[in-house]
A and B are shown apart, each in its own frame.
Chain A
Amino acid sequence: MSGDDLNGRTPADVLALAERVLRFADAESPTEVEVMAMADDASLTRFANSEIHQNVAESNVQVNLRFVVGKRVGVASTNRSDDDGLRRLAERAAAIARNSEELEDWGGLPAPTAIHDIPEGFAATTADATPELRADGVRAVIAAADTAGVKSYGSFSTATETLGIANSKGVRAAQRRTVSQLLTVAMAPDGGSGYAESAAVDVTAIDAAEIGRQAAEKARATGNPIAVDPGEWPVVLEEYAVVDILSMLGYMGFSALAVQEERSFSEPGRRVGSDLVSIVDDGHDPATLPMAFDYEGVAKERVSLIDRGVCRDVVFDAQTAARAGRASTGHGLPAPNPYGPFPLNMAMAAGDTPREQLVRGLDRGLLVTRFHYTNPVHPKLAIVTGMTRDGTFYVENGEIKGPVRNLRFTQSYLEALAATSAISRERRTLKGDFGGVLVPAIRVDSWNFTGATEH
């Protein structure tokens, strides 16, 4: 059996753990060494058929040690924090480094940067959230569904991540973040379904009853859909669909590694979107579920990814920055990381169109609530396939006429940015696949639907 010598879960406690690991690593004589220590306390209450069916909690610690001998790099990880576990960790990382091959263009570990705390990134209400609080929220969603005569499905999660980074070049960084998310799908007896979601640092900012009401209302509105033909359609995409566009573009193109491997679409100065489209990554924006620094302990910089339709920059970690002869932008992931740096706090600029006017601007088109199971088909052209889900509507003369069956699309997300003709002035914070995302709803003049399904 092992012990856990992490006495508390504060940033100082986690940083102290990282310091202990550094001491064990020093005994193995590294050239450079880096420790990432992370304490996770996460809970999630899941519901289906208007009852709680899964309800879980987790307490864990993760310690990653990057050990460098010359240009040989070894990484080992453990979730033990007792002395024996940490000593073994250091021995394993050192043995890997000594038995590995040199990384010719190893750029070295990052040096300290000026890190500014983001107090808005932590809420004690979320850290202290109880199973009863989550059950209260779920019951509020279910009550809204009951009122509408639909069933509710979803999850309500609260999590605290305490991260500490220490390296032999003097980096010492620690932060504590909280994230909460409530999402729900409502399903009506006639086959209709609707979706709503909210994410926040502070769980008390989530209005469970309102989220439940929104999803239930949409489920009531989507029963007995009619079939429409696939083809090119103007669309209005709600925020839940826009999140997917940003996440996919981040995955396919906004990483310096993707550029260095020539698989990215991003080139400084290349126009890919309409003038309305600007996207940044900003770890300090409280609305993006913020992070002060990355998993290498480098302060996060605000990076302009697309500015008024034109590609500007991509995000860097220490290794890709060294290759490019510039500084990391603070977007490193935990080592070893074959995927490269990643934008974890993306925000799309708001437009000047009131949200409800987006649909009114459609002569004949479709309103899409969200996408399902999207996957790149041609990453360099940012072509993605996926389905619509949980609320797709036919619009005529600016008015929603009724629900339609779900459609498959095969669409270049870059061409969608180029065809973006209106952006809502309101934005929402949502939790994407890879971090917080701040997004508006958008109108796209042409979207390529390539198939249909039976519901």
Chain B
Amino acid sequence: MRDLTDRALDTAAQLGAEYADARVVRRMDESIAIKSGSVEGVAAGESEGFGVRVLVDGAWGFASSNRLTPREADRVAGQAVRIAKASATALRDRVRLDDRPPAIGSYETPVQEDPFEVPLEQKIQLLLAADGAAARVDGVTFTETRYDARREWKTFAATDGSFTEQTITHVGAGVEANAIEGDEHQRRSYPDGDGGPFKAAGFEYVRGLDLENRAGPLAEEAVALLTAPQCPSGRFTIVLDPSQLYMQVHESCGHPSELDRVYGTEASYAGTSFLTTDKLDEGFRYGSDLIDIVADATAPGGMGTFGWDDEGVAAASVPIVRNGIFVGYLSSRETAPRIGRQSGGAMRADGWNRIPLIRMTNLNLLPKPGMSLDEIVADTDDGFYLASNRSWSIDDRRLNFQFATEVAYEIKNGKKGRLFKNPTYTGITYEFWRSCDAVGDESSYVMLGTPNCGKGEPGQGASVGHACSGARFRNVQMGVGKW
């Protein structure tokens, strides 16, 4: 690929680019979808191409193509330069990038069992067994079981001499049981809805999920929810299982700490952030003393784990919240200098035909020694234990959120008891995190995340990781809506 990237970079430089980078990406996907015991879809996809990003007169341009030829490298580099010149006609401040050493080297996701080498029949049988275990439960209306694998080969080169090659592998699988009666539709899923979460790993991760043995009890719970009481409204103590807490971290910690949002560059689509830079200077209290959050692109198994980001910044662990105080952002080479820092390495692109944007890597809520998650439940007199995200929404500055989970278990005198259906809770981000009075220890610390975090125009998906161990929050508003 070096010939192609050299050609594109040389052409861009000759046409006036003061900086250029080129990425060649080949992506291979495999997916299997089972519905109610029937193999509904098996697909394999491949996509390859390259993108050239240039700075001309302090303005950005980007062009991309699926044709990996020298002639196309010239055309695309020229198109990127022309686009950058058009950008320069509506520019107020020239783009300046931080200094970083040229990135050189290679990285590969550690994989024990290559998911693309496991015979298809074997994968299908594993999924059918899990799906069948859920479908056999009386009262289940339909089941869905999914498997997905992706491998991406990525070459990055820049006019500063950077040249990296990476091979990233992600796999995911999950089973879901749906029970429907009249207007009531209840769902239980494992390990998460929509076939996730994925992991940066090989097929050993899928085998380790033990889908078949988890599916039956899960389906029974979906059916039981049909006749469970409605979760009440009011202010309660809640304990969030990692299967919900990761989503809370994603929406109310991850997105607001993206520095491009803070500077308004996502304003027209996903919105901005309440975490303005004055809050960094003042040491804003984001949460209680127990809250330690890092953006760690080196965490084993995370979907946001890599060697270098998509502008050649080495993977790092960046503190975001320390002892409850807001201390840092997810950043890029363009945004970090504006707060007097170096990029934290969070620029990620969804394939060859998209520019890198600031994205979460693995945004992890660190465990706290002291109490296990079970001990937190045992320490709770009265409240609810919420698991498995079902719905999420947050305002355009990431303050007012509302989540629904698949299930709530009543907690009485330190024990999990009755099921409640249709649980929801809502709050204001910093008030919620300040109400946290217990975070689970290492024993329940697990890497989860989402493979489809959306951002940008044109739209981009990203696979981001979130490790967490479960936590308790006090005086939380539960039960909105009127059904």
Please report A residues at the B interface, Cβ cutoff 8 Å.
1-4, 42-62, 73-80, 92-93, 95-97, 99-105, 130-132, 134-135, 138-139, 142, 151, 153-155, 157, 183-185, 187, 261-263, 265, 335-338, 372-381, 383, 385-387, 389, 406, 408, 410, 412, 448, 450-455
Stretch at the interface among B339-347, B395-403, B464-472: B395-403
In the complex, A9 Cα to B44 Cα: how many Å? 25
A386 CA to B393 CA, complexed, in Å: 6
Instruction: Judge whether B353 and A60 touch: CB under 8 Å.
Output: yes
Q: Give Cα A441–Cα B110 distance, bound, in whole angstroms.
A: 54
Q: Are A56 and B62 in contact (CB under 8 A)?
A: yes
Known: A153-B267, A378-B422. 6 other contacts (CB 8 A): A53-B265, A62-B47, A155-B457, A373-B394, A408-B400, A454-B399
Inter-chain contact B481/A410, CB cutoff 8 Å:
yes
A101's partner among B46, B92, B128 (CB-CB below 8 A) is B128
Assembled-state Cα–Cα distance A166/B61 (Å): 37
* Listed A/B pairs (14) with beta-carbon separation below 8 Å: A48-B264, A48-B268, A51-B93, A53-B265, A54-B355, A78-B45, A95-B120, A101-B39, A131-B61, A187-B264, A265-B183, A375-B393, A448-B481, A451-B480
In the complex, residue of chain A having the shortest beta-carbon distance to the beta carbon of B270? A373
CA distance A317 to B93 in the complex (A): 50
Contact B42 A381 (CB under 8 A): no
Q: Find out whether the CB atom of A157 lies under 8 angstroms from the CB atom of B458.
A: yes
Q: Which residue of B lies closest to A139 (CB)?
A: B90
Q: How far is the CA of A450 from the CA of B422 in the complex (A)?
A: 16
Of B78-86, B199-207, B408-416, the segment with at least 4 beta carbons within 8 Å of chain A is B78-86
Which B residues touch A79, using CB under 8 A?
A: 46-49, 66
Q: Which residue of B lies closest to A260 (CB)?
A: B142
CB closest chain-A residue, reference B482:
A448
User: B396 touching A387 by the CB < 8 A rule?
Assistant: yes
Question: Across the interface, do A57 and B64 meet the contact criterion of CB distance under 8 Å?
Answer: yes
B393, A185: Cβ atoms closer than 8 Å:
no
Check if A454 sits within 8 Å of B63, measured CB to CB.
Answer: no
Say whether, besides A48-B265, A51-B92, A54-B62, A453 and B428 are in contact (CB < 8 Å): yes
Kindly state the separation between the CA atoms of A2 and B67 in the bound complex, as whole angstroms.
Answer: 7
A103 and B47 contact, CB distance less than 8 A: no
Binary A-proximity of B101-132 (CB < 8 A = 1, otherwise 0): 00000000000000000011100100010000
Considering the complex, give the chain A residue whose CB is closest to the CB of B26.
A2
Q: Chain B, 55-70, contact with A by CB distance < 8 Å: what is the 0/1 string?
A: 0000111111111110
Residue in B closest to A98 when the chains form the complex, CB atoms: B120
B375 CB within 8 Å of chain A? no
- In contact, A410 and B457 (Cβ under 8 angstroms): no
Contact A377–B400 (Cβ < 8 Å)? no
Nearest-CB residue, chain B, relative to A138: B90
* Residues in A whose Cβ lies below 8 Å from that of B391: 375-377, 385
Give B138 Cβ to nearest chain A Cβ, in Å: 16
Known: A49-B264, A262-B141. A3 touches B69 (CB 8 A): yes
Residue in chain A with minimal CB distance to B39 = A101
Partner of B63, one of A57, A138, A336: A57
Establish whether residues A4 and B395, one from each chain, have CB atoms under 8 Å apart when the complex forms.
no
Contact yes or no, A57 B79, CB < 8 A: yes
Inter-subunit contact A455/B46 (CB<8 Å): no
Q: State whether B41 touches A99 (Cβ < 8 A).
A: no
Interface residues of B in 1-18 (CB under 8 A from A): 4
Q: Is the CB of B92 within 8 A of A135?
A: no
A43 to B63, CA, bound (A): 9
Q: How far is the CA of A387 from the CA of B45 in the complex (A)?
A: 37
Nearest CB of chain B from residue A399's CB, rounded to whole Å: 27
B267 touches A185 (CB 8 A): yes
B59 partner residues in chain A, CB cutoff 8 A: 52, 55
B164 at the interface (CB under 8 A from A): no
A311 to chain B, nearest CB (A): 14
Contact of B67 with A51 in the complex, beta carbons under 8 Å: no
B35, B40, B60, B477: the one within 8 Å of A55 (CB): B60
| B47: nearest chain-A partner, CB-CB | A79
Q: Which chain B residues border A263 with CB–CB below 8 Å? A: 178, 180, 185
The interface residues of chain B lying within 8 Å CB-to-CB of A184 are 268
Instruction: Say whether A406 contacts B480, CB under 8 Å.
Output: no
Q: Which 7 A-B pairs have the closest CB atoms?
A: A336-B41, A131-B86, A453-B400, A75-B43, A153-B267, A77-B45, A4-B67
Min C-beta distance of B36 to chain A, whole Å: 9
Find chain B residues with CB under 8 A from A130 CB.
86
The residues of A that contact B269 with a CB separation of less than 8 Å are 155
Q: Known interface pairs A52-B87, A56-B62, A60-B49. Does A336 touch B40 (Cβ–Cβ under 8 Å)?
A: yes
User: Does B441 make an interface contact (CB < 8 A)?
Assistant: no
Q: Are B392 and A375 in contact (CB under 8 A)?
A: yes
Report the separation of the CA atoms of residues A386 and B404 in the bound assembly, to the nearest whole angstrom: 12
Which residue from A62, A187, A406 sits with its C-beta under 8 Å from B267? A187
Across the interface, A135 reaches (CB within 8 A) one of B45, B63, B86, B178, namely B86
In the complex, whether B144 has a CB less than 8 A from a CB of chain A is yes
A57 engages B89 (CB within 8 Å): no
User: Which chain A residue lies CB-closest to B119?
Assistant: A99
Contacts of A132 in B (CB 8 A): 86, 89
Q: List residues of chain B with CB within 8 A of the CB of A93.
A: 44
**Which residues of B are found within 8 Å of A183, using beta-carbon distances?**
268
Chain B residues with CB under 8 Å of A265's CB are 183
Contact A56 B393 (CB under 8 A): no
Q: Which chain B residues border A43 with CB–CB below 8 Å?
A: 83
| CB-defined contacts of A97 to chain B, threshold 8 Å | 42
CB pair A408 B395 closer than 8 Å: yes
Residue of B nearest to A104 (CB): B38
Residues A131 and B83 in contact in the complex (CB < 8 Å), given A50-B92, A52-B59, A59-B65: yes
Residue of A nearest to B35 (CB): A338
Closest B residue to A61 using CB positions = B66
Flag whether B91 is at the interface (Cβ < 8 A): yes
Question: Which of B39, B146, B265 contacts A54 (CB under 8 A)?
Answer: B265
Q: B184 interface residue, CB < 8 Å from A?
A: yes
Given A53-B265, A57-B79, A75-B42, the answer on whether A96 and B120 have CB atoms closer than 8 Å is yes
Cα of A103 to Cα of B84 in the assembled complex, Å: 50
Q: Which residues of the other chain, A, contact B483 by a CB distance below 8 angstroms?
A: 378, 381, 383, 412
A1-B4, A153-B267 given as contacts; is B120 within 8 A of A380 (CB)?
A: no
Instruction: List residues of chain B with CB within 8 A of the CB of A336.
Output: 31, 33, 40-43
